[in-house]
Structure 1
Amino acid sequence: MVFVAFGGKMEEISETESPYPHRAGNLYSILYVVDWEEEENKNSKKFMSWMGRVYNYMTPYVSKSPREAYSNYRDLDIGANKINNDKESYAEARVWGLKYFKNNFDRLVHIKTKVDSQNFFRHEQSIPPLS
């Protein structure tokens, strides 16, 4: 686990001033990491299970409703776009989008729709344009 300290000036910036909303009231951002050497791939399920238990253990100590996330710590376990004919579902993306961007998600969807309506720039957790 990596703890990144928050506070100070970050608390003075409004949640809506930038896409990154996790500011006031947050003491740390926590990055859950597990890695292994290629020859240990046979143990990958064990390693991921262990990290899942740590993640679940931390539940009472972290943000809730929803449990928030930082988009640069990509976490496909919280959700991913199901790409069907190059169209992502807004409803599906909103599940993980609110964890990353909170109430900024809808604003970011509208911006994405305006500047990339064909969804050229996309990945498993890219913000989808509205259809």
Structure 2
Amino acid sequence: MIWNPYGGKMSEFSESDSPFPHRNGTLFKIQYLSIWQEGDKNAANHIDWIRKLYNYMTPYVSSFPRGAYVNYRDLDLGINSKNSTSYIQASAWGYRYYKDNFNRLVKIKTRVDPENVFRH
């Protein structure tokens, strides 16, 4: 795990000041890692281990929803498929990454990128 401390000047901005909502009240950002080489026959064990660690941490981290940092993509939360992701599907992970900013970002993206060229 890599722990990045938050607070200080960052806490002076509200969650809605920018798409990045993890500001006021967020103490740390935790990056969970497990690294293996391509072709490693134990890759499934690495994935299972990191999922167990992530679940173990549940009582100690944000909840309702459990937050996620957009630059640490978590494919277990869901992905935006090419031209087929519904609002309901995207909201499953969108609220974790963007909290209450998600709806505002959906409106902007719908207007600016109707062909869905740019997707997470």
Shorter-chain TM-score: what band?
over 0.9
1:18-71 alpha-carbon deviations (Å, 9 max, x no partner): 0000111111000001111235x2001111111111111100000001100000
Structure 2 residue runs without a partner (length 5+): none
AA aligned to 1:62 is V
In 1, Cα distance between equivalents of 2:38 and 2:95: 34
Which residue is 2:48 aligned to?
Answer: 49
Gaps of 5+ in 1: 127-131
Preserved CA contact (<8 Å) 1:82 1:89: no
For residue 25 of structure 1, what is the aligned residue in structure 2? 25
Q: What SS does structure 1 have at the residue aligned with 2:4? A: strand
| TM-score w.r.t. length of structure 1 | 0.87
Q: Which residue of structure 1 lines up, in the alignment, with residue 95 of structure 2?
A: 98
Aligned residues: 120
Amino acid at match of 2:31: L
What is the TM-score normalised by the length of structure 2? 0.95
Shift of 1:82: 3.9
Cα distance in 2 between the residues matched to 1:55 and 1:11: 25
2:86 counterpart residue number: 89
Residue aligned with 2:76, SS: helix
User: Aligned equivalents of 1:36 and 1:22: distance in 2?
Assistant: 29
Q: Between the two proteins, what is the percent identity of the paired residues?
A: 52
CA RMSD of aligned residues (A): 1.1
Match of 2:106 in 1: 109
Partner of 1:69: 68
**Structure 1 residues 90-109: Cα deviation after superposition (integer angstroms, max 9, x where no partner):** 11000100000000000000
Tell me what 2:59 maps to.
Answer: 60
Shift of 1:79: 1.3
Query: Residue 113 of structure 1: CA displacement?
Result: 1.0
Q: Residue type matched to 1:121 in 2?
A: F
